[in-house]
């Protein structure tokens, strides 16, 4: 975490509130509800997407300030290509413009941009802007901000299966020895720990093809708050909720407590 005296007042209060609890190493977010946010205000859906960019900035800043290692955002799914062309075009333009505008701040905050998904499907202009930002932040070693673009978990798992099959056919791997880590290491998230906390805004309680493999043991947090209304306080609420969860990974509560307790004589 950044030194407290370098944090703004709001973030200091949040840091104090969360101090003492365990901080998720990796937070993944399904940023949903932009369209409904706009509709409530009789605005075009694009206005919700524009407003959603501000929430991305807030979440990135807070995670960076709190020392969260990885923030992974679902920005555009494989299935989102099925939206009206006009909305898709607006989203692509917005993503490219926003990432370019935010690049200096990302560098200043030592945030490293990572991109996952079928980026070949992205329009060239947006892709170039994203690649330029990734290049500009490649030496940053603070928060890793991953944008999932033209991403879906089934696409990613299928790609991994194809790679494994190719290597098996070429005699490079023994089919009988294929392990879970052989699959994990072929996913686009191979360099990251699995998400500890997975948040979905916008009131739906589904995963919509997001990180299906990696979220096997993520703590899920669903909120009705629409993404453009999801600010630092709301993210802090989600982290505080996470801090009260008992992560058992299949074991019993007693086993977890025994492991957490300090050894005899060291209380």
Residue nearest to ligand IPE (CB): 35
The torsion of the CA quartet 143, 152, 44, 40, rounded to 10 degrees, works out to: -80
* Distance in Å, CB of 91 to ligand IPE, minimum: 6
Measured distance CA(153)–CA(257) in Å, rounded: 34
Q: Find the binder of ligand IPE among 202, 219, 230, 232 (CB under 6 A).
A: 202
From the centroid of its chain, how far is CA 79? Answer: 18
196 is catalytic: no
Here the contacts of 4-8 (C-beta below 8 Å, separation 24 or greater) are 7/65
Q: Which of 6, 8, 16, 32 is catalytic?
A: 32
The two three-digit tokens of residue 229, written as one number: 């209304």
| 55-94 binders of ligand IPE (CB under 6 A) | 74-77, 80, 91
Mark the segment that binds Mg ion (CB under 5 A) among 28-36, 39-47, 52-60, 85-93.
28-36
| 16-35 binders of ligand IPE (CB under 6 A) | 30-35
209 is catalytic: no
The beta strand positions in 7-58, using DSSP E, are 26-30
67-70-73 Cα angle (round to 5): 125
Q: Find the binder of Mg ion among 32, 61, 65, 196 (CB under 5 A).
A: 32
* 46 is an interface residue for Mg ion by CB under 5 A: no
Interaction partner, residue 62 (Mg ion, ligand IPE, none; CB < 5-8 Å by kind): none
Measured distance CA(57)–CA(135) in Å, rounded: 19
**Cβ count near 73 (within 10 Å):** 19
From the centroid of its chain, how far is CA 199? Answer: 9
* 156 is an interface residue for Mg ion by CB under 5 A: no
122-187-94 Cα angle (round to 5): 25
* Distance in Å, CB of 53 to ligand IPE, minimum: 11
CB 78 within 8 A of CB 132: no
Category of 199 on φ-ψ map: left (φ > 0), alpha (ψ -120 to 50) or beta:
beta
* Distance in Å, CB of 111 to ligand IPE, minimum: 20
* 102 is an interface residue for Mg ion by CB under 5 A: no
Mark the segment that binds ligand IPE (CB under 6 A) among 101-109, 203-211, 239-247, 259-267.
203-211
Q: Which of 6, 8, 34, 80 is catalytic?
A: 80
**Residue 7 vs 53, nearer CB to ligand IPE:** 53
Measured distance CA(82)–CA(152) in Å, rounded: 13
Mark the segment that binds Mg ion (CB under 5 A) among 24-32, 66-74, 119-127, 151-159.
24-32
**Residue 187 vs 226, nearer CB to ligand IPE:** 226
Query: Could you tell me which residues are beta bridge partners of residue 183?
Result: none
Active site residues: 32, 80
Task: Note the residues at the interface with ligand IPE (CB under 6 A).
Answer: 30-36, 74-77, 80, 91, 202, 204, 206, 208
């Amino acid at each position: 975490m950044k030194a407290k005296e370098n944090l703004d007042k709001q973030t200091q209060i949040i840091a104090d509130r969360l101090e003492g609890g365990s901080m998720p190493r990796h937070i993944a977010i399904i940023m949903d509800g932009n369209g409904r946010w706009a509709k409530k205000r009789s605005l075009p859906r694009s206005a919700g997407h524009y407003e959603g960019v501000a929430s991305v900035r807030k979440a990135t800043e807070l995670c960076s300030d709190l020392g969260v290692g990885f923030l992974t955002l679902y920005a555009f799914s494989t299935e989102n290509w099925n939206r009206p062309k006009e909305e898709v075009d607006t989203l692509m333009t917005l993503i490219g413009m926003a990432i370019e505008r935010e690049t200096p701040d990302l560098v200043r905050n030592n945030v490293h941009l990572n991109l996952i998904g079928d980026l070949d499907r992205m329009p060239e202009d947006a892709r170039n802007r994203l690649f330029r930002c990734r290049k500009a932040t490649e030496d940053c070693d603070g928060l890793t901000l991953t944008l999932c673009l033209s991403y879906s978990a089934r696409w990613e798992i299928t790609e991994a299966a194809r790679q494994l099959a190719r290597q098996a056919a070429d005699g490079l791997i023994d089919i009988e020895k294929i392990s879970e880590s052989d699959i994990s290491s072929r996913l686009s998230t191979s360099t990251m720990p699995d998400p500890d906390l997975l948040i979905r805004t916008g009131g739906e309680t589904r995963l919509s093809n997001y990180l299906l493999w990696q979220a096997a043991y993520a703590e899920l947090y669903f909120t009705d708050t629409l993404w453009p209304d999801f600010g630092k306080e709301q993210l802090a609420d989600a982290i505080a909720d996470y801090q009260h969860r008992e992560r058992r990974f299949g074991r019993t509560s007693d086993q977890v407590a025994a492991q957490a307790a300090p050894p005899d004589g060291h209380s």
